[in-house]
Amino acid sequence: MKILAAIDSFKGSLSSVEAGKIVKKAALNVNDDIDFKIKPIADGGEGTVDSFLSLKNSKKIELTVNDPLMRKTKAYYATIDDLAIMEMSQAAGLTKLKDDEKNPMLTSTYGVGQMINHALENGIRRFIIGIGGSATNDCGLGMLKALGCNFLDKNNKEVGICADAIKDIHSIDIKYINPKLKECDIKIASDVDNPLYGKNGASFVYAAQKGADDQMIKVLDDYLRYFAKKTSEIIDNDPNYPGCGAAGGLGFAFKYYLNAKLQKGIDIVFKELEIEESIKESDLIITGEGKMDRQTSMGKVISGIGKLSKKYDKKAIAFCGSFEKEALNVHDIGIDAIFSIQKEAVDLKKAMDKEYAKENLYLCALEVFKLINTYGGI
């Protein structure tokens, strides 16, 4: 029997690679004759780079950049020939901040620009960049400044690098942007379709989780409107284009300043990792994520796995830390069964402890494979 594990990360607990290895161990414990393949996977957010690092010809590139508050931080990205796979969260993600440091008015995407510059200097001309998990709402101002754009105030001096500096922009000069960018093909992996501003925009939908209160959200939304207006003086743009509101407006900056293509994260990742072909060749598909909810069936990894499994009439099951009733919608798109790995009532901190989660996933998977084996499945 051929089994494919394509499991998203259990955020804050297990990586995609770790989850796949645990499930493989459980399956081989039941039947060591199984042909078990692991495909680490993500949808453009956390774990995307690690998914590509699982490929034999990939390289891990480590560097030091500035975090959302401009402190030095370690980051890495993957390369395959002239292709770089990055996560903006490596430089400007929420995980870089403590709870009392979260403030989207003061955080910057500057480090993202540093990562791109680093890759450009090393011959990279194709990019896949996941922009999930941001701590920012600066409309890419910081990134663009790192790449060479000049944002000037009324006294012809450079403005700052965070959202609060947007109000000071009087003119924009893009002639000094890194010239190597003209040679590039940039694909932005995101599962967000939000416009730049408005009630469904970046600030109103996502800024609260980044530390903004109601008053700050309104101000941030006004700043994004102003940024789009000033941009329109030099670049035609549509702030309502789906995805412009991703990562606090970073999607807008990528599309209109860097001519990037905004695409569904799973579409990009699935194609590059040849997930459809792997599912087609397998008998049983294992997927999962930390928490399954109503969003799971709306463009996330599990929904993509389910649809392809259904397309090729393959059985598919999902493991998760927990699931809400709305997650049962995945049964309609190809996931045959969902299994929560929790074996007892514990608080969230305990449930997300790495070693505890490893044990729970292993025990749950072991029992599932025993059940399948009992009925002649493996």
Query: What is the number of other CB atoms lying within 10 angstroms of the CB of residue 283?
Result: 14
| Cα dihedral 319→265→70→354 (10° resolution) | 10
Q: In DSSP terms, which residues pair with 287 in a beta bridge? A: 318
What is the β-pairing status of strands 315-323 and 284-292? parallel
Q: Can you tell me the distance from the alpha carbon of 365 to that of 361, in angstroms, rounded to the nearest whole number?
A: 6
pLDDT of residue 174: 97
Q: What is the pLDDT along the chain (378 residues), one digit of tens a residue?
A: 999 999 998 988 998 889 999 999 999 999 999 999 999 888 777 778 988 887 878 999 999 999 999 999 999 999 999 999 999 999 999 999 999 999 999 999 999 999 999 999 999 999 999 998 899 999 999 999 999 999 999 999 999 999 999 999 999 999 999 999 999 999 999 878 999 999 999 999 999 999 999 999 999 999 999 999 999 999 999 999 999 999 999 999 999 999 999 998 888 889 888 999 999 999 999 999 999 988 787 668 899 999 999 999 999 999 999 999 999 999 999 999 999 999 999 999 999 999 999 999 999 999 999 999 998 776
d(Cα 184, Cα 259) in Å, to the nearest integer? Answer: 9
| Residue entry with tokens 């975090």 | 67
Helix (H) / strand (E) containing 92: helix 89-92
With vertex at residue 54, the alpha carbon angle to CA 50 and CA 55, rounded to the nearest 5 degrees, is 125
pLDDT at 247: 96
Q: Three-state SS for 109?
A: coil
The number of angstroms, rounded, from the C-alpha of 203 to the middle of its chain's C-alpha atoms is: 18
Q: Give, to the nearest 10 degrees, the angle between helix 301-311 and helix 265-272.
A: 60
Token code pair at residue 29: 């414990």
17, 59, 98, 247, 374 from 54: Cα distances, Å: 8, 10, 30, 26, 33
Report the pLDDT value the prediction gives residue 147, as an integer from 0 to 100: 98
Q: How far apart are the first and last CA of the chain?
A: 6
Smallest Cα–Cα separation from 13: which of 323, 320, 367? Answer: 320
Residues 6+ apart with CB under 8 A from 347: none
- The pLDDT, as a whole number, for residue 367 is 97
Reported residue count of the chain is 378
Which residues lie below 8 Å from residue 368, measured CB to CB, with a gap of 6+?
26, 317, 339
Alpha carbon distance 20, 271 (integer Å): 20
Residue pair 217/157 in contact (Cβ under 8 Å)? The answer is no
pTM of the model: 0.85
Whole-number pLDDT of residue 187? 97
pLDDT at position 51 is: 83
